[in-house]
Amino acid sequence: MVLACSCTCDFLPSILFDAKMIPHIPKTSIRCRIERAPRGEVRPTTILWIAVLFLSVACVVLGISNARSASRVAEVERERDQSNEAAFAAIKLKLDAAATPETRIAEAEKRAEEATARVAAVQAELDQLAATITSAQPSGLAVPTNRTESAPAELLLAQENGKRALDELALVSKRSHRIREFMERAFHSFAPDTVGRSDATVNSVMSAALSELKSGGLDDDLDAKAQLESTIASILMNGGDYAQAEPVLDDVLRYRRKIFQGDHTDLADAIGDASTVRIFLGDLAGAEPLARESLAMYQRLESGDQVVVAAALSNVAQLERAQNKLPEAQAHAEQAVAMLTRIGPKNNWNLARELHQLAQIHDESGHLADSQRLYEQALAMKSALCSGDHPDIAADLISLAGVSQSLGEYVKAESLLVKALDMERKFHSGDNLVVADGLNNLASVVQSLGRSAEAERLFRQSVSMKERILKSDHPSIAAGLTSLALAEQALGRNDLAQPLLVRALDMRKRLHAGDHVGTARTLNCLAWVSLDMGEIDAALENSQAAVDMYSRLSPNGDVNRAVAIALRARIAEKQGNDAMAAELIAQAQEMVLAKEPATGANAKAVMAFKDEMSGKRK
């Protein structure tokens, strides 16, 4: 029966399947794209490479911008930014390579030499002009007074820039040695002669560095301290330790506010980073004002279309979407898409990711056709940019499958999910929650296609894998138990389905105090099984509890509430109350068709109840 999938995974707003809330699908914006790297052991040599990297990052950020003449300051800053980006990329690649501090010092020396050469050149030009003046005066030739008057000023400027470059060189060298000493102290407890063959994790090494900073390291240089702590926080977030990263980023923001009294890109970055870590921790109320402040500052600092402004727009849209402020989220996401489209090139990974977020917003708003179109655009763009397998491509396949299933396109959805599951199994060997979710999603579509025995096998594999991984109460296990129970019901095994649903409901009540959509779904499914078993009183009690809970959760109505009302109508008919049954089924039909087309899975489920009640079961 089609409704058999109406109570599947609690991550999913639609009855049958909706991949947008599956945990492994990236929800991050362009800036919120911190890919977790698996935690593991670090050898002593790796630790030394980390130290080298920190030295190079510090040298890039802490110097050089004034090492050239005033006319090339902008170029030096761009070089610094590019080097900083390269350093972060190196961190994500497990520190495969990094430039040495000596390289940076050599660059500064070269620039100092260039500035000195320029001083000499200007001095030579001044001498030549002086000779011209001397030879011109006896013959009455005109003297180029403007040039002779400006030359000393130019010489003075060149000398000043040269001195500044030399001072910068000394500062870079001094800071390089200071940071080297700092990192040696921070990593001393993990050195081979201290602990032998080190079993330190990356995060524990970062904690050691933080402890050294908190004890007063680099207090006299807040800019250096902010850069180091920001890098450490990024590494912690890459390792999934968001709770430890949050206070670090808050400290960085405090340093930046102290350094910069007005708008500055470094301050805007720090505000955005503080917002990002709160998103990962689920503190949406704390993240939103920071995200809006960062966006406003970027808009004041940057003119025209800029990637960094598009990223900030995307962050705000993500927060609004998470708080169900869908019209506002759609407006900001559309601005980000339009800006990235104008920036180009057409096949751009950032643009593809933003299309994915806009598709999610349309999906949650009930605009399924628009959502499907946007998911297809994002998938095509990423496939053109990446010829092989990629987690983002798998995520788009799953999301597109979810929308296709909601539109009743089950064969297309199955094909997409098979591709995604094959891809995820290449990424993750053995038991993995991503693979378990993929099995659950595929089972939902297979169930919709009427292959209940195959669906039951896939659901059981998914639940067993999740139980081996999670080992205790978890919403994903509860959702899997509900799906497995409905597969058993479809096979006529209500005696197996009912205890599974009771177990799922008990788990839901332990996990969620008060109203929760997962609890409401489980109540509705248990009512359905009870009705099939002829237990009218139990079915009525659970059905009414589900309808009441959905009414409190979704006052304006949604597809889940519509299906629950349709089941309540069927129970009323079984009790002989045909007038109530007719009123309820009409209400359910109107509600579901306001949210999805008649070909949608939930609309079909409501119509199936209506046909059964009228004796026209299909």
- pLDDT of the residue at 38: 37
CA 497 from chain center: how many Å? 37
Low-confidence ranges of the chain (pLDDT < 70): 1-159, 161-220, 346-347, 614-618
For 2-24+390-613, CATH gives 1.25.40.10
Integer CA distances (angstroms), 42 to 39, 182, 209, in order: 9, 20, 15
The residue assigned the tokens 């430039």 is: 99
> What is the value of pTM for the model shown?
0.63
Q: What is the pLDDT of residue 421?
A: 95
Of the chain, the end-to-end C-alpha distance in Å amounts to 9
Which one-letter DSSP state was computed for residue 41? B
| pLDDT per residue as tens digits for the range 308-318 | 999 999 999 99
Token pair recorded at residue 478: 């509860």
| CA atoms of 52 and 40, how far apart (whole Å) | 20
Domain ranges in the chain? Answer: 2-24+390-613, 37-239, 240-330
Cα 263 to Cα 30, 76, 298, 385, 478: the distances in Å are: 22, 21, 8, 36, 48
Give the position of tokens 């030579």.
Answer: 124
Question: At 201, phi and psi to the nearest 5?
Answer: -85, 165
The Cα–Cα gap between 361 and 370 comes to 10
Q: What is the pLDDT of residue 317?
A: 95
What is residue 613's predicted lDDT score, i.e. its pLDDT?
72
pLDDT of residue 267: 94
Paired with 41 in beta bridges are 201
Taking CA atoms, 599 is separated from 78, 404, 476, 602, in Å, by 54, 11, 28, 9
Give the per-residue pLDDT at 370.
95
Contact 235, 197 (CB under 8 A): no
The pLDDT of residue 116 is 60
pLDDT at 159: 61
C-alpha 63/C-alpha 168 separation (Å) is: 6
Equal CATH topology for 2-24+390-613 and 240-330 = yes
Quick one: pLDDT at residue 107?
56
Helix (H) or strand (E) holding 217: none
Q: How far apart are CA 527 and CA 540, in angstroms?
A: 7
Tokens matching residue 238: 């890459």
Distances (CA, A) of 186 to 228, 248, 303: 12, 16, 42
How many other CB atoms sit within 10 Å of the CB of residue 152?
A: 11
Instruction: Count the Cβ atoms, other than its own, within 10 Å of residue 121.
Output: 12
How much is the pLDDT for 79? 47
Closest CA relative to residue 600, chosen from 366, 388, 308: 366
| 15/6 Cα distance (integer angstroms) | 4
Alpha carbons 295 and 419: distance in angstroms, whole number: 38
Superfamily of domain 240-330: Tetratricopeptide repeat domain (1.25.40.10)
Residue 535, classified by CB atoms within 10 Å of its CB into exposed (0-12), middle (13-18) or buried (19+), is: middle
Output the pLDDT for position 608: 81
> In 188-283, where does DSSP find H-type helix?
192-195, 202-214, 222-238, 242-259, 265-280
